[in-house]
Amino acid sequence: MKIRSLQVTDLPSYFLLRTALWPDSAGSFELEVAEIIGAADQASFVAEHEQALIGFVEVSLRPYAEGCDSRPVGYLEGWYVAPQHRRSGVGRRLVETAEDWARAKGCTEMASDTELHNALSQQTHTRLGYQEVERMVCFRKLL
């Protein structure tokens, strides 16, 4: 298994992984990924096993993140490993690659988020050394 930068030739397989993580956003993937490829403040890395993509991480530089004191902050925007490859170290290696990228960009802190109901993601973040810094409830009202 190897971790490497996303390449244009990966896009069909990459979109399948992204759809598994964000099924409601598939319609905007082409535009979002076009912005990531070649951007100085964003990157995407993929995990490849036997010439197939099995996971990815998207990372960015943000001017601010909750609980962080430094600027900019490396931010895990999205992180996914195919179910059959979980608990094998793939996710850890993807996150470490994202952290290395942020460190190379001058960051001294890394941040991330997950939904309140996603206990597995919260546990995984904790196992990787992330500390919970805030909880938030969002509201909306139709007008």
CA distances from 1 to 43, 49, 50, 81, 107 (A): 19, 5, 7, 13, 27
Decide: 76 and 43 in contact? Cβ < 8 Å: no
Domain coverage including residue 6: 2-127
Please indicate, yes or no, if residue 137 is contained in any of the structural domains: no
User: In which band, very low, low, confident or very high, does the pLDDT at 87 lie, cut at 50, 70 and 90?
Assistant: very high
Chain segment 89-118, per-residue pLDDT in tens:
999 999 999 999 999 999 999 999 999 999
Please indicate, yes or no, if residue 133 is contained in any of the structural domains: no
CATH number at residue 62: 3.40.630.30
User: In which band, very low, low, confident or very high, does the pLDDT at 49 lie, cut at 50, 70 and 90?
Assistant: very high
Chain segment 20-44, per-residue pLDDT in tens:
999 998 888 888 888 898 899 999 9
Please indicate, yes or no, if residue 136 is contained in any of the structural domains: no
Chain segment 127-139, per-residue pLDDT in tens:
999 999 999 888 8
> Looking at residue 137, what is its pLDDT?
85
**Domain count of the fold of the chain:** 1
Mean per-residue pLDDT over the chain, rounded: 95
Please indicate, yes or no, if residue 132 is contained in any of the structural domains: no
CA distance 12 to 115: 27
Please indicate, yes or no, if residue 41 is contained in any of the structural domains: yes
Name the residue type at position 105: K
CA distance 6 to 11: 8
**Cα(first)–Cα(last) distance of the chain, in Å?**
50
Please indicate, yes or no, if residue 138 is contained in any of the structural domains: no
